[in-house]
Amino acid sequence: MPRAEHGISREDISDNALKVLYRLNSAGFEAYLVGGCVRDLMLGLLPKDFDVVTNATPEQIKGLFRNCRLIGRRFRLAHIVFGREIIEVATFRGHHDPAAQDASTRGKASEDGQLLRDNVFGTIAEDAERRDFTFNAMYYSVADFSVTDFANGRKAIAQKQVELIGDPEVRYREDPVRMLRAIRFAVKLNMKIAEPTAAPLKPLAHLLSNIPPARLFEETLKLFLSGQGKDTFVALHDYGLLEPLFPQLAPLLNDPRSKEMQFALTVLANTDERVNSNMRVTPAFLYAALLWYPLEEHAQKLQAEAGLSQHDAFNIAAGDILHRQTQRIMIPKRFSTVIRDIWMLQHRLPRRFGRRAFQLLSHPKFRAAYDFLQVRGETEGGDLLELTDWWTQFQHGEPGLQKKMLSTLRQKEGAGPKPKRRRKKPAKAKGDENA
């Protein structure tokens, strides 16, 4: 497609991406923008990042850019660093030969067909065949401003369909994360997943358990913290992809009207609103919400079967739930600590007598715990809703109102006024007995 047919302008392309393209071309290499950035430009959207592909090897790329670092084991990539912006540059990928499992191929697959190492270089045509979805196999050249569409990506965009290149089952087995990407693109771009692409999703969902937990953590951030988390969650549930990600939560979501489902959807809707308003969000709050009801269920079971106190059962259950979840999705310690704080404060917030209420207000994670309580109150109603209303008034009240609220609460709970302390009489000094 020449410049007149695709409408992509250099004004919409990152200056740093253009620098990379021009330098690679000047050094005698082919270089193209590829993937999501070309797709988004074709859709009239502003890309978040720009990826480049070239026939230069990673070592040759590094030789051209002093601000380059090579990353990756599964497939070697070059990151060209311009301050906060990183332009990712990949070498054209070639076809992996499963019959040749030696070092010369630099490719290796598992028994399930998953590619474990993929450093097989090839031509631009081979690279296009190795792309995942048809609309991601479009290449923009700054040399002549043309777009080369290898897999009818423009047609997929026109038909609003997410469609895999090649045999969907083979492609999912090569990299099961493609199943998550299919869902994410369908929701993000308001498209439908083509029937052949959608058919293997449920039968092959279990393959996600082969993906390293650290990689799945990064993928879930894209799924749930990009502004369409609620719709993405529903789509993952519909296609059977939640169970391999959250095996402790999935069994509680069979009824779409259940409190567990409503709680998750409300938290995700609130998160979407914050993301789309450019407000700060943290994965800790989301994970605390998705694991809350599995935690409650496990704690109650421990309390009943092991005869533990509520406090001990809750602490043990929190450790168990987080440990099991990290077997599937890694949760960095900086987030798991916050998750525990939010959970523990749910048990402390109902205890408000005396100085406890003021101590809770000064807790670093009070606001997150209060927001969490608020969603629980909206979901379950009853005492939780009353407790949420009380904390809403108390945290914003004047000292006089706060004192009155605590006094009213004490009377309501039947605690009565505080008993006056009786002063102890001073002990008599020795020798004073007969005085």
Question: Taking phi first (over 0 means left), then psi (-120 to 50 degrees means alpha), and beta for anything else, what does residue 86 get?
Answer: beta
Angle, CA of 363, 368 and 371, to the nearest 5°? 125
> Does residue 238 belong to any structural domain of this protein?
no
Does residue 232 lie within any of the structural domains? no
51 is catalytic: yes
Please name the residues in contact with 240: beta carbons below 8 A apart, sequence gap of 6 or more. Answer: 201, 202, 205
Label residue 192 by pLDDT band (50, 70, 90): very high
Task: Confirm whether 109 is domain-assigned.
Answer: yes
* pLDDT computed for residue 21 by the predictor: 97
- Indicate if the pLDDT at residue 425 is higher than 80: no
Residue 108 located in a structural domain: yes
- Is the pLDDT at 411 greater than 90, yes or no? no
Q: Is residue 41 part of a domain?
A: yes
The CATH number of residue 147's host domain is 3.30.460.10
d(CA 296, CA 135): 44
Per the listing, tokens 């009801």 go with 293
Q: Which residue in 118, 127, 132, 231 is the catalytic one?
A: 132
Q: Phi and psi (nearest 5°) for 349?
A: -60, -35
Which residues span the domain enclosing 30? 1-159
Q: Kindly report, residue by residue over 110-132, the tens digit of the pLDDT.
A: 566 555 555 688 999 999 999 99
**68 DSSP β-pair partners:** 80
> Using CA atoms, how far apart are residues 251 and 65, in angstroms rounded to an integer?
51
Is residue 79, in this structure, part of any structural domain at all?
A: yes
Whether 31 maps to a domain, the answer reads yes
Indicate if the pLDDT at residue 208 is higher than 90.
yes
CA distance 47 to 54: 20
C-alpha closest to that of 53 among 122, 155, 104: 122
pLDDT at 291: 98
In a domain, 414, yes or no: no
The active-site residue out of 12, 49, 312, 371 is: 49
This prediction has a pTM of: 0.85
Annotated active-site residue 341? The verdict is no
Q: Which of 40, 51, 127, 272 is catalytic?
A: 51
**Would you say residue 428 has pLDDT above 60?**
no
pLDDT at 408 over 60: yes
Question: Is residue 231 annotated as a catalytic residue, yes or no?
Answer: no
pLDDT tens column, 58-85: 999 999 999 999 998 777 899 999 999 9
Q: Give the pLDDT of residue 264.
A: 97
pLDDT at residue number 118? 52
Domain count, the chain: 1
